[in-house]
Amino acid sequence: MKKCHFENLIDEYLFDKLDEKQKEKFEEHYFNCPQCFEKMNQTDEMIAVIKAHGSEIFRDFYAPRKTRRSRLEPVLAFLTPRQWAMAAVSAALILVVALGVIPNRKTTSPEFLINDDLVRGSSITLISPVIDNLDQVPSEFRWQRLRDNIEYKLFIFHQKELLWTTTTKDNFVTLSENTMSLMAPNKKYSWQVKAFSPEGFLIAVSSPVQFNFVTSK
């Protein structure tokens, strides 16, 4: 299989080295690319395992040993701390795979439609507001909770232009009066929610939902 050129951005994305435009472009791509989505899932599992079993993985790697001088020691002495760190991570990942901590299975991701485009990943169900012609500006936005340790990002749009956004670990956001004042009656708005893993990458997204509110004459 031909390697997707976006795979080169996965590490930079995970370490938050992309600017906002690059990050948004990468998220739009990998959420629709089976190859990159699979790679991100594998990386997420590796990070989770290292976090959970890191002390065990690295304990033997760094443990002092009383052995005779290896022929490789003069060569290894020239390695920089960064190269040692990379070697340690590589050894840890190989050990994780070899011990079978990460099951040898292929990740299958659900599929759903957003704007007629097939998207792979989890879909977030928006709860409210989900109807037009509200009698007042909505003060709360609520959606389905996926699981613990997830960060959600709420977006409110007016005619496809971003009006306001915020992040939260709850499955709802209560708007302040200042934020509510940004919306005017008898105009169309839409909102959308994205979910990010503890490692900071996109794992789920909702379909955008329109709403408006009207004033009585």
Query: Which H or E run includes 87?
Result: helix 81-99
| Residue 38 φ/ψ, nearest 5 degrees | -65, -45
Q: Please report, for residues 24, 53, 117, 137, 201, the alpha-carbon distance to residue 16 in angstroms, rounded to integers and kept in the order given.
A: 12, 24, 27, 35, 9
Q: Is the pLDDT of residue 153 over 90?
A: yes
- Residue range 8-12: mean pLDDT, rounded: 80
pLDDT, tens only, 110-135: 454 444 445 556 689 999 998 878 88
- The distance from CA 145 to its chain's CA centroid, rounded to whole angstroms, is 15
Counts for the chain of helices (H) and strands (E), in that order: 6, 11
The two structure tokens encoding residue 107:
């990740």
List the domains of the chain with CATH numbers.
5-99 (no CATH), 111-211 (2.60.40.10)
Q: What is the pLDDT of residue 164?
A: 96
